[in-house]
Amino acid sequence: MSGKVHQTLNFKLSQKPKDTLTGFLVSKLYLSFRSASRNQPTSEQEILPLPKEWETAEEERNEAEGKAEEEGEGEKEAKRKTRSIKRSQIWLKPQGLLAPDPCLMAFMKKYLLPILGIFLAYYYYSANEEFRPEMLRGKRVIVTGASKGIGREMAYHLARMGAHVVVTARSEESLKKVVSRCLELGAASAHYVAGTMENMTFAEQFVAKAGELVGGLDMLILNHINYTPLRVFSNDIHLLRRSLEVNLLSYVVLSTAALPMLKQTNGSIVVVSSIADTAMKAVAGIYNAKASPKEECALEIIKGGALRQDEVYYDSSILASLLLKNPGRKIMEFLSLKKYNMERFINN
């Protein structure tokens, strides 16, 4: 900047005198005056007066140099502040991480976080109708895998609520005890049908039999599971086929057979997946976790079915429930379904 100012001043000075010799003498005299003024002359030094046009040039030069010095100091100060800010950022942020964009943070704070908070509040509280035991009074409910564990506890809870209960499992002796206890607890009625879900014919006939025993169906709770040892797959195709039949195919067969009765009553299908109770004993030493109380878990499943909730998560840790109830996944599911013509899909 100072170089450009000097060039401008030199141009203005060289235009004042009209001949080269005069210009040379004027320049020498001007430089002498500047040198004397900078050396703080004493009273013995004589300072010659300058012509007005020279004084004008001098003032312009001083003004330009002052601006140049101010701008130079401003640039230095700006650079110093920039270096200070950079040092602060380096000191504050972890190595290898980029500082968040202030604009993005402002947007999130102003819009995204409040929207997320509203969505979470709606998700957790708006659909959570208060459960009442009388919701199950007189309802006709099938519970599979009901000879022990969570299935048995669900049958007992339903009995206390005054439901008609039909239970099934492989062990007939265990089922008799469950039915007897259900009647003691106040079930409207209690029945059992013993059999294995490896047999698809039995699965289909069982639903029809249950409907005859209680006169219809309001809820189908699928809780049975084939025991599968927790180990690396060892080419046991027979075990794999049996697991698929019991844990998957029989669920489809039971649901298909129950669907006509459930449509008449606007009923529900509840699918249970758990590792509580007896399953924890089977994987002891391999899977280390604390089993959830089967009585409480069974009650939460029944509540979810009665309230027609899409999903119910029960765990001793609140963190697990919060992580599983991922609002991001719900949003993605909603957006994905918007791409489908569901009416045409159902009609087809």
Q: Would the pLDDT of 253 be above 70? A: yes
Share of the chain above pLDDT 90, in %: 39
Q: What is the pLDDT of residues 142-159, one digit of tens each?
A: 999 999 999 999 999 999
Share of the chain above pLDDT 70, in %: 61
In degrees and rounded to multiples of 5, residue 11 shows phi and psi of -65, -45
Q: Would the pLDDT of 247 be above 50? A: yes
Q: Would the pLDDT of 62 be above 70? A: no
Q: Which helix (H) or strand (E) holds 202?
A: helix 200-214
Strand partners, 164: 140, 189
Q: What is the pLDDT of residues 233-246, one digit of tens each?
A: 888 898 889 999 99
Residue type, 202: F
Query: What pLDDT score does 329 carry?
Result: 78
CA atoms within 13 A of residue 162's CA, in its CB half-sphere: 7
Q: Comparing 192-196, 230-234, 333-337, which segment has the lowest mean pLDDT?
A: 230-234
Query: What pLDDT score does 217 carry?
Result: 97
By C-alpha distance, which of 251, 265, 47 is closest to 164? 265
Query: What pLDDT score does 156 carry?
Result: 98
- The residues near 190 (Cβ < 8 Å, ≥ 6 apart) are 155, 159, 164, 165, 166, 167, 178, 179, 180, 182, 183
- Distance from C-alpha of 131 to C-alpha of 78, rounded to nearest angstrom: 66
- Distance from C-alpha of 337 to C-alpha of 214, rounded to nearest angstrom: 37
Query: What pLDDT score does 287 carry?
Result: 74
Query: What pLDDT score does 81 carry?
Result: 59
Query: What pLDDT score does 286 carry?
Result: 75
- Distance from C-alpha of 317 to C-alpha of 138, rounded to nearest angstrom: 34
Residue 22 or residue 233, greater confidence: 233
Residue 179 or residue 228, greater confidence: 179
Query: What pLDDT score does 299 carry?
Result: 94
Q: How large is the average pLDDT for residues 194-207?
A: 96
CA atoms within 13 A of residue 346's CA, in its CB half-sphere: 3
Q: Comparing 57-71, 175-189, 242-256, which segment has the lowest mean pLDDT?
A: 57-71
Which of 188-192, 304-308, 339-343 has the highest average model confidence (pLDDT)? 188-192
Q: How large is the average pLDDT for residues 12-34?
A: 46
By C-alpha distance, which of 146, 136, 134 is closest to 268? 136
Q: Which helix (H) or strand (E) holds 67?
A: helix 52-92
By C-alpha distance, which of 64, 67, 62 is closest to 50? 62
Q: Would the pLDDT of 15 be above 80? A: no
Q: How large is the average pLDDT for residues 130-144?
A: 95
Query: What pLDDT score does 124 carry?
Result: 57
Query: What pLDDT score does 13 carry?
Result: 34
Secondary structure (3-state) at 230: coil
By C-alpha distance, which of 136, 116, 117, 121 is closest to 308? 136
Q: Comparing 173-187, 242-256, 298-312, 323-337, which segment has the lowest mean pLDDT?
A: 323-337
- CB distance 301 to 154 below 8 Å: yes
